[in-house]
Amino acid sequence: MLLPIILLSAAGFTVLTTEFIIVGLLPAIARDLEVTIPQAGLLVTLFAFTVAAFGPFLTAYFARFERRKLFISVLIMFGVANTVAAFAPNIWVMAAARLIPALGLPVFWALASETAVDIVGPDHAGRAIAKIGFGIVCATVFGIPVGTLISDAFGWRSAFGILAVIAFAKALLLFIYLPKTSLHQHQVSFRSQFKILHSPLMIGHVLLSILVFSGMFTAYTYLADILERLAGFNGTVVGWCLMGFGAVGLIGNSLGGRAVDRHPLIASMMFCAFMIAGMVALVPNIHSPLGLAAAMGIWGVTQAALFLVSHVRLMKAAPEAPAFAASLNIAGANLGIGLGAMLGGRVIDSFGLQGLGFAAAAIILASVLLAMALMTMKPREILTVQ
C-alpha cells in the first residue's frame, strides 16, 4: 500500500507548491503588475483566508465522496487556476487565480492525510503523514526555489505555466494508478464532525496553529525580499538560498514525524523555541555567509517540522474525526498565514524589513506559552460516530 501514499505525496507537492510558490515570486509579480510588495503580499492573505473560511466546511462535506475522483478533480482545478495565473494581466485576475485553488487545498490535504493514516493505522500517524508531508517539504525544497529560478530566467508567468502542466500530469497519474478503494471506511456525519468544536482543548489547539503560522509567515512571506534588499542577492542567488532553506526541511520533516508521535505539544514547543533563535539571528547575520546559513538552516528545519507537528497534533487530539480535525488545522494555519502576511506588510511599512524577525519571534513565543497552558488541560469525549 506504499504506492498510494507516494502518489498522494507527489500530488501534495503540486498542491502546496501552488500555495507557496508566490513567496519566491512576490518581488517579480509586484514589479510586473505595478503594485507594492505589501500589496502583492495580500495575494498570500487572500489564499490563506479563503482556506481558513471554507476549509472545514468543504472538508466535512466532501469527506463522503470517493477519494480517487475527488483528488483528480482537485488537481485539475489547480491546473486551470495556475493557467489563469500565468496569463493574469493585472492584480485582480491574479487574485481570482489564487482564489480557485484555495478552495481545493484543504479538501485535498485533510483527506489525503486521513487516507494515509487509514493505510498504516493511528499508532504511526506521524510517520504516515510525514510521507505525505515529504511532498510538502519537496515543494519547499524544489517547488518554491525552482519557481524563483525559473522566474529569474524566463519570467514569473513561466513558473505558473509549468506548475499548471505538472498539475494536469499528476491528475493523469492518479487516474491511472490510484486505487478506487482509497476511501475512509468509517464516515462521521456532517453534524457530528462539528461536535469536536465543543471541546475547549480543541479550540486551544486550533488557536495554537493560528499563532504558530502567524509568526512563521510574518517573516517567511517576505524572505525573498529580505534576501534581495538586505543581503543584496540577485534572483538567482535568492533561488538557491530558498533551495537550501527547503533542503534542510527534509531533516525537520523526519524529526517532526518522530517527535510528534511521542508528545505533540512538547514537540511543538521545542521546534518553536529553536525557530525563534533562527528568526532573530537572521538579519544581524545577513552579511555573514556562515551566520546567515546557520540562521536560515535552523529556521528551515523548524518550519518544516512545525508544518507536520501542527497537522498531526490536531488529528491526534480528535481521533473520532481526524479529517475534520486536520481541516481545522489547515484553516487555523492558513488564517495564521494570512494574518502573518498582513502583519509582515505593516511591520515593513513601519519598521522596515529588519523588524520582521523580531515581530515574528514575539508571536512564536506566545505560541510556546499557549502550548504550555494546553498541557494542563484534559481531553474529554465529545463525539459519537454516526
Residues 76-115: pLDDT tens digits? 999 999 999 999 999 999 999 999 999 998 888 778 877 7
Quick one: pLDDT band at residue 386, thresholds 50, 70, 90? Answer: very low
Q: Name which of 52, 337, 376, 364 is nearest 208 in CA terms.
A: 364
SS3 286: coil
Q: Which residues contact 90 (CB under 8 A, 6 or more apart)?
A: 33
Q: Examine domains 1-177 and 193-376 and report if their fold is the same.
A: yes
Q: Cβ atoms within 10 A of the Cβ of 184, count?
A: 16
- 57-67 per-position pLDDT tens digit: 888 788 778 88
- 282-329 per-position pLDDT tens digit: 999 999 999 999 999 999 999 989 988 888 888 788 777 777 787 888
Residue 268 · residue 212 · CB < 8 Å? yes
Residue 270 · residue 259 · CB < 8 Å? yes
Amino acid 325: pLDDT:
81
CATH superfamily of 193-376: MFS general substrate transporter like domains (1.20.1250.20)
Alpha-carbon distance of 158 to 139, in angstroms, equals: 17
Amino acid 382: pLDDT:
43
Amino acid 385: pLDDT:
42
Q: Compute the mean pLDDT over every residue in the chain, rounded to the nearest whole number.
A: 85
Domain 1-177 sits in CATH 1.20.1250.20: yes
Q: Where are the alpha helices (DSSP H) in the chain?
A: 2-33, 37-62, 67-86, 91-120, 125-138, 144-154, 156-177, 190-193, 200-220, 223-229, 235-247, 249-262, 264-282, 289-317, 322-351, 356-374
**What is the model's pTM?**
0.76
Among 22-31, 88-97, 226-235, 316-325, name the one with the lowest average pLDDT.
Answer: 316-325
Q: Where are the alpha helices (DSSP H) in 263-288?
A: 264-282
Quick one: pLDDT band at residue 381, thresholds 50, 70, 90? Answer: very low
Q: Using the predicted structure, report yes or no on whether residue 234 has a pLDDT greater than 90.
A: no
Q: Which residues contact 32 (CB under 8 A, 6 or more apart)?
A: 155, 156
Alpha-carbon distance of 302 to 266, in angstroms, equals: 13
SS3 214: helix
Amino acid 216: pLDDT:
94
Amino acid 380: pLDDT:
53
Among 109-113, 154-158, 198-202, 253-257, name the one with the lowest average pLDDT.
Answer: 109-113
> Structural domain boundaries of the chain?
1-177, 193-376
Residue 226 · residue 282 · CB < 8 Å? yes
- 343-372 per-position pLDDT tens digit: 998 999 899 999 999 999 999 999 999 999
Counting residues of the chain whose pLDDT is more than 70, the rounded percentage is 89
Residue with more model confidence, 68 or 119: 68
Amino acid 163: pLDDT:
93
C-alpha separations of 180 from 1, 69, 177 in Å:
13, 8, 9
Quick one: pLDDT band at residue 384, thresholds 50, 70, 90? Answer: very low
The three cell numbers of residue 168 are 494536469
- Mean pLDDT within 188-200: 69
Alpha-carbon distance of 84 to 97, in angstroms, equals: 6
Alpha-carbon distance of 134 to 297, in angstroms, equals: 18
Alpha-carbon distance of 265 to 204, in angstroms, equals: 11
Q: Using the predicted structure, report yes or no on whether residue 383 has a pLDDT greater than 50.
A: no
- 103-160 per-position pLDDT tens digit: 998 888 778 877 776 766 666 666 667 677 677 777 766 777 888 888 888 999 999 9
